[in-house]
A and B are shown apart, each in its own frame.
Chain A
Amino acid sequence: MFDRIRRSLAHRRRTDDGASDGPDERGEDGQSDGLRADGGTVTESDSVPLATRLRRSQFLESLPFWGPPGLLVLLFVYGAIGWNFVISLTGWEGLGQPDYTELSAEAYTTLLTDASFIAAFRNTIVLLLVFTVLSLIVGLVLAILVDRKIRFENTFRTIYLLPMSLSFVVTAIFWSWMYNPRIGLINESIRGVVGVLDGVVFWTTVEAGFLTQAWLDDPRFKLAAIIFALMWQFSGYCMVVYLAGLRAIPTSQYEAARIDGASAVRLYRRVIIPQLRASTMSAAVVLMVFALKAFDFLFVLFGVNPGSSADILAVMMYRVAFDRLQWAYGSAVAMVLFAMALSVIGPYLYLQYRRGEL
């Protein structure tokens, strides 16, 4: 994009130069032939003094605008990442200062054999994939339903989107109450439903205890319960992204498909959903990055020790660095997280770039 602007600017400048040079040439009428033999304005611009060239340079002219913010980003984002990487090589522990003279990749080799890292890595991947896919599916279904010109559409949209605006801390506490096995809403509802069924059909053989679980204690359900809660919070966001995508599809396509005799399922499967690829991509990237950062939610629920069934890399990084003062090891975990985030965002940016949307 910048290239294009620069090119067009450069082009305008060249024509400006031509216009201003014009009168001079015409003034010195007699020697115009000699000048032309030199090759005209092109060679003339080569002989322009350095100071003038610098003054006219696009690069220098734009420098004050992109320079300071660029420098700040370079220092505080990329510089910090680089520093973090260097720290991960130092073996820095405790409250002293890091020793930069001896660098080794020991932290990374330790990671590979650390059972809690393997568990956290596995959970992070599971969370990333399952949470993203589920949220996208729920969001898509909601968007399609809301898009059916229903009444109170705005109200529904707000209701679905509202969880997104809540802080993780709020939703984590809220869900810990929901999941409470004794007095939580989820188990109470299960008990209620089973109780009603018992009353109506005398289905006394099924006990509620079979369905009510200690959702956040039991290692079998811990991660699933977390994923469900996160999905609740983020599917509204997916819905909004999809809704925007759906609104961008002209109604004529719906009509055309209907005239061709396509059923509703076929219409969405063949015509509409394929056009939502861009929405899916951008929503998926946002969700995946959020999944990597789901730290607050777990930290509020379990503190620094969620247990191996729900530990994720972000929590592990905090535990190792701030609870154990093993800064180098924590930095190594952070670099793994960074690599994961990069592998999510990198392909997306590349695709956007190839399509010329960047």
Chain B
Amino acid sequence: MTETPSRDTVDRVTRRRYIAGAGAVATVAVAGCSDDPEVGEDDGAGDDDGAGDDGTGNGGDADEGDLEIVHWWTAGGEEEAYNALLDGFREQHPDVEIVDNPAPGGAGSAIDTVIQNRVLDQNPPSTFQIWPGQALTPYTDEGLLEDIGDSVWDDEMREAYLDDIVELSRPGGDLVAVPINIHRLNNLFYNVDVLESADVDATDIDDPQGLMDALQAVDENTDAVPMAHQTQAPWSTLQLFEAVFLGQQGTDDYLSLVDGDVEGLEDEVREALELLAEYADYYPEDAGSISWDQGNDRLIEGEAAFLHQGDWAAGQYEGADGFEFGEDWEMVPFPGTDGVYHSVIDSFVFPTNNPSPEATEQFLNYAGTVDAQERFNPIKGSIPPRTDVPNDEFGPFLTRQIEDFDNSNTQPPTIAHGTAVAPAVQSELEEAFANFNDNRNVDTAYEAIRDAF
């Protein structure tokens, strides 16, 4: 009897210790969750007190009033461009604390999830990067973006943007987005030496069918891969389909296609798909295992002839030693799309429930200025959507792109990069082209495209 109680106390003490220990662990874990590493990494802007925000409930990672920007520009040149933009903003608004919150992941694959969850939780960031146009519709349908037609889009700014671009900024009627850069999608890049040894002149190719003959010639006359296309992810094939369709049918038919009139254009869609299936014979044998930039590397090394890609691909050429524009690489508009500037656009928006309305408005105003777009775009490798930005900072290639843009007849939106169709449609089309990459079956691809809209 005398021993039992003492053993009990011993037991109880250890148990109590266990509970205390578990409690301590739990506390540490909770603290760990609330301590946001990204805030800590920010280059001197954020005062790292993420833990203190949890009580407020609407602060997320930033303090009330701080400007939290969510974006996916984390790769080399993109990050530099983004930082240049922030530097410019800080010069004009030194009092605004910027909380930089990147959600990296190819072409915004991760950012969507982050933003959607935060918007559903009614805890949006101050502003975030998003494609304008139809990509905005999930937000505008629910009234989750503020109308910035009065506060940001003054007459001076509307004047400076081309009409098609302004239209993309108001998918639901109200102006809700500020486009900051434009990439061209209908580019056909090529390695000059490879084409010379294949005896092909890229400027002579008139239409997508003509490109087929050029690919054949490259295949017969050289060891190089005719077309450095990737099929690991379906978006490259989807944008190639867009280019082929634009090249074959022109902008009007393309616009009715993205409006959903697939059945009226059945023959045209099938024609594009059939040609696309023929192109596939000229992709690299490892097309399904590589990313687009790995394919582009082979073009730089002279192991591939052509590449259809957005002009972000040119950034890789600038980075390559001894690979000069005009001498080693060149670009023509995708055959049949002269005068078309197939546009991939990034923009910033003003979410409702904004944690920092004042700073957000300042930032959006700044993003629409000549200064911001002149800082950002040369480094990003894109052109400014404003038509009054001086060309001085841009290299020869981008200068030519700007001229092409200013002289372009149409600036159609893109499916693969969100401006032309709603995200759900885009996703179903991507699935259709993932299957098309697998089996090159024109019938099932056509049916999937028809059902997607």
* A interface residues (Cβ-Cβ under 8 A, vs B): 93-97, 116, 176, 179-184, 214, 216-219, 222, 302-309, 319, 322-326
Contacts and interface: CB of A to CB of B under 8 A. Distances in A.
Contacts of A302: 232-233, 434
B264 interface: no
B136 to A, nearest CB: 11
Contact of A305 (B106, B119, B120, B434): B434
A222 B109 CA distance: 23
Contacts of B424: 93, 323-326
Given A94-B138, A319-B431, A181 B116 contact: no
A305 B109 contact: no
B287 interface: yes
Interface string B117-150: 0011000000000000000001101101000000
Q: Closest 10 CB pairs between A and B?
A: A217-B288, A305-B434, A324-B424, A323-B427, A182-B286, A307-B434, A307-B438, A219-B438, A96-B142, A180-B289
B116 A307 contact: no
Contact of A308 (B116, B233, B288, B435): B435
A191 B435 CA distance: 29
Contact of B112 (A97, A307, A322): A322
Interface string B282-295: 00111111100000
A289 B112 CA distance: 28
Contact of A323 (B112, B284, B285): B112
A94 B142 contact: yes
Nearest to A324: B424
Contacts of B290: 180
Contacts of A216: 288-289
Contacts of B433: 305
Given A116-B431, A180-B286, 16 more contacts: A93-B424, A181-B286, A216-B289, A217-B231, A217-B287, A217-B289, A217-B438, A302-B232, A303-B109, A303-B233, A304-B430, A305-B430, A306-B434, A322-B113, A322-B116, A324-B428
A303 B112 CA distance: 14
B343 interface: no
Interface string B260-278: 0000000000000000000
Given A116-B431, A326-B424, A307 B233 contact: no
A305 B119 CA distance: 25
A96 B120 CA distance: 7
B437 interface: yes
B289 A179 contact: yes
Nearest to B112: A322
Contacts of A307: 434-435, 437-438
Contact of B285 (A116, A182, A309): A182
28 contacts: A95-B139, A95-B142, A96-B141, A176-B289, A180-B290, A181-B289, A182-B284, A182-B285, A214-B285, A216-B288, A217-B231, A217-B437, A218-B288, A222-B438, A302-B232, A302-B233, A304-B430, A305-B433, A305-B434, A307-B434, A307-B435, A307-B437, A308-B435, A309-B438, A319-B431, A323-B112, A323-B427, A323-B430
B333 interface: no
A179 B288 CA distance: 10
B439 A219 contact: yes
B381 interface: no
Given A95-B142, A303-B109, A324 B423 contact: yes
Contacts of A93: 424
B386 to A, nearest CB: 30
A306 B231 CA distance: 11
A323 B112 CA distance: 8
Contacts of A325: 116, 138, 423-424
Interface string B425-446: 0011011011101110000000
A180 B438 CA distance: 16
B177 to A, nearest CB: 16
B234 interface: yes
Given A217-B231, A307-B435, A95 B430 contact: no
A95 B286 contact: no
Contacts of A95: 116, 119-120, 138-139, 141-142, 144
A166 B286 CA distance: 26
B288 A214 contact: yes
A344 B371 CA distance: 61
A305 B142 contact: no
B286 A214 contact: yes
Contacts of A214: 285-286, 288-289
A308 B438 contact: yes
A258 B285 CA distance: 55
Interface string B91-129: 000000000000000100100110010011000000000
Taking each of A116, A216, A217, A309, which has the highest tally of chain B beta carbons within 10 Å of its own beta carbon?
A217
Taking each of A94, A302, A326, which has the highest tally of chain B beta carbons within 10 Å of its own beta carbon?
A94
A308 B431 CA distance: 8
Contacts of B139: 95
